[in-house]
Structure 1
Amino acid sequence: MRLHVDQRHERVLALVRERGSLRVAQLAAELGVSAVTLRRDVETLAAQGKVRRMHGAVLPPDGTPAENRASAPGSGGAVIGMIVPTTNYIFADIVHGAREAVEAQGGRLVLGMTGYVDGEDPVRAEHLLAGGAEGLLVAPSWFGGVPAAGQERWLMACEAPVVLVERSAPAGNPAAALDRVRTDRAHGAALAVSHLASLGHRSIAALLQDGPHTAGITAGYLASVRSLGLETVPGSPSVRTPGAEFDESVRYLVEAVERHGVTAALVHSDEDAIVLVPRLQARGIGVPEDLALIAYDDEVAALADVPLTAIAPPKRSVGELAAKLLLQRLAERGTGDVPAPRRHLELLPELRVRASCGGVRGTPGLLPVSRA
């Protein structure tokens, strides 16, 4: 049965009071009216000072305390903003994990993307908060994975709770005081090197993409090479600039095999490894016969012509735990409870063994290892 205009207005006000923030399109669908009709209703209510309308969202009027709009986990209604540089690669699963965790508690995840454009993060944050987001999950466009030249300032000025996702800040930087959830990429690199060493490889190279995760993977690779007493490979790790041609990377690996006796390599990412394998084969270097390979990320590694052994970050779990941590912070605000200590969560990746490393023997002491 169609609602009378006054009934619609009452229903809109009740939903906004209950949930704190709603999209106009969502309200229209819920009330069974067109978006045009619902926008007219919202404009009328906004003119009367009963609601606010911002960027396609309906919010409670000014003066309603944010604490009263934040919903405790399980009570529903929390609107969570999430800022990521892209929804490709690892972030697709991270976003899915966060969305499932938020929706499981009756909330809604709203996404903003920055495209790795420096300075776009605070713009996206302002837009999400103006649209009703009560807290933010943020993977800032910090190319080195940590803030540089004051990139953290806008985060520290943000009044809404913030959880960093797959990013960190060094001790002494103000952003180090923020909650964060990320993958321990150094552990993943060490896991790869240890597995290759367990198969008898003593000279292991690394070829990495330059980006937010390079430092962590490099640290794990070098630490593992030292601790296992492996040979040092000249120029390793070699780092490829995003967008650069692969010719230099191919030359590096060919030279490593032919001149330095390298028999195995860690390659970040899957896509780079998939591109490199046929080019190496064209130069007479077979995988895994002449060069065992382990890829890092496990997005598409299993689909390669030679299925790639890969390090698999727990992507969905990163998103899920980050969202649950943020919902906890919102609940603490809403109830006035003393906040629990800030948390730095690091999740361990796993090794998925396939054909490209030429063996299936696990790595003692560095579990988990799975067959995929």
Structure 2
Amino acid sequence: MSYNISIWSVNKTSFENEVFNQEKIKRQNNGIIYEDKNWQITVSGPFEVMEEDIPEEVVGQLPGIKYFTEIILEPFDAPKRALQLVKKMTKILAQSSHGVVVNEQEGTISSPSGVKRLETIPAKDADPSYLLMTWWFMNDHTFIKDGFETFLDLMESMMPEALPRRYGIYEPPQFKLADKGKEHFIQFLSENLHEGIVWYPSKPFTYINIRIPDKVGPTRQGFRSCYITIKFLEEVMKQPGWSMELKRFWLKASDQLKPFYGEMRKGQNPRNGTWWRGLPKSLGNAAMLGKPYIDLWPDFIKEAKQTEGGLFYIENIKEDYEDLHSIITEVPEDIVQPKNKKKHSRNWPFEGPFLKYK
């Protein structure tokens, strides 16, 4: 029987510390072995893992977990000094890789000092930079039935900071999630989806808006779609794992929502709100196409990757990101929203855009 510890980390574990340069330590391809007279410590890794390999209890502990390292002490009843060395190695490895520690024997999950999910983001100036994550989609009945609850579950597991501290129908919002609980928020949101609500998230998120119009599709004033936008501080992209986790969330949420268009960009979105007139001419840092636009922009599809749900996306989401025009050509003119706010794209792939009088 052995004593097992796992480290799930954002970066690769490193053996540069002097603790790993002792004479009794032997290097091997996938780690090291420390051998004593009647016991040994084996450190295996780091191994790069897929998101689906991360244990459920670890998901959400740290953003952007990408590596796994295993530490095994044999036998289980090795001397006390052996266990002390294991814990010392564990602390050094977890700190150097920004990792969370799973102790299988003690049944605990912990992070060493200095490893936090989110470092404090100081208010450097009165006008900080923001990024926006946005989706436009049509399946309003599915979303009203159970889609928003599924969306909130995903948010809670991956981006709990985005859940509301306070919410209501006016400023300042009258309800606190800590007092009312998640079920009350779900019920409140379902009853006010058409009107929209005030939603105060926690840093790094600053603004969330979910709008489901009474009438989706062509209206007498133009074409309306469902709309969700999440605003967050650009500063968080510099913190360990956050750019990776935001990308993962964007992809998973997209497969849930099934948007005809989704994106992530710095600054204000040129196509803001539920009224849809065509794709934005200027792309941001990530773009997602679903039906019917998949058939209207073949050059995008050639360069894009595909999600599990069949959407196509191109992204440049990382610390030093650029807009997508360094990767993909300009949006075809016939599907771009016109400058005239009363007009729609020449190639219109939906019904309408205006509801005809009977």
Q: Fold match, TM over 0.5?
A: no
Q: Which has the higher contact order (CA 8 A, sep 6+)?
A: 1
More strand by share: 2
TM-score, with structure 2 as normaliser: 0.31
TM-score, with structure 1 as normaliser: 0.30
